[in-house]
């Protein structure tokens, strides 16, 4: 089964990145390398979270698109990226998410299988 691991940066992960970006990246890349070596990593992308603010487009009741400067859901956590993994089941996806060595929040979502 394929699962998306949706990564949300937290105040703590941002502090660690700013304190020592190289060490943080090495720790993160080690985790990604392990997933890849195990044949579980399908793909993924990191999002720019420091230099350019996100924007949100919502459709108003009258059908008009409304643009807001900022994320869809403001708060401590910031959408930072995602990985797609191939594992046996949800329990294994949770195991992979729990193994992330850095303090981001990880949301696990099954990928919809198309016919």
Mean pLDDT per 10-residue section of the chain, whose length is 115 residues: 95 90 92 96 91 92 94 87 97 97 95 84
And the tokens for 86? 């191939």
**Is 104 buried (19+), middle (13-18) or exposed (0-12) by CB count in 10 A?**
buried
**pTM (2 d.p.):** 0.87
Q: What is the pLDDT of residue 106?
A: 96
Element (H, E) at 59: strand 55-59
113 touches 23 (CB < 8 A):
no
CB 27 within 8 A of CB 102: yes
In Å, what is the CA distance from 11 to each residue of 31, 62, 102, 104, 112?
A: 21, 37, 12, 9, 31
- Which pLDDT score is estimated for 115? 60
What are the Cα distances from residue 109, in Å, to 62, 91, 113?
A: 32, 12, 12
* Number of neighbours of residue 35 by Cβ within 10 angstroms: 20
CA distances in angstroms from 6 to 9, 80, 81, listed in the order given: 10, 8, 6
């Amino acid at each position: 089964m394929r699962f998306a691991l949706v990564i949300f940066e937290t105040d703590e992960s941002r502090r660690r990145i700013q304190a020592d970006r190289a060490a943080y990246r090495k720790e993160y890349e080690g985790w990604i390398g392990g997933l890849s070596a195990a044949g579980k990593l399908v793909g993924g992308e990191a999002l720019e979270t420091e230099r350019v603010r996100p924007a949100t487009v919502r459709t108003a009741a009258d059908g008009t698109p409304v643009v807001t400067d900022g994320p869809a859901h403001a708060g401590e956590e910031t959408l930072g990226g995602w990985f797609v993994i191939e594992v046996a089941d949800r329990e294994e996806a949770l195991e992979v998410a729990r193994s992330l060595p850095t303090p981001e929040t990880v949301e696990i979502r099954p990928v919809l299988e198309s016919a």
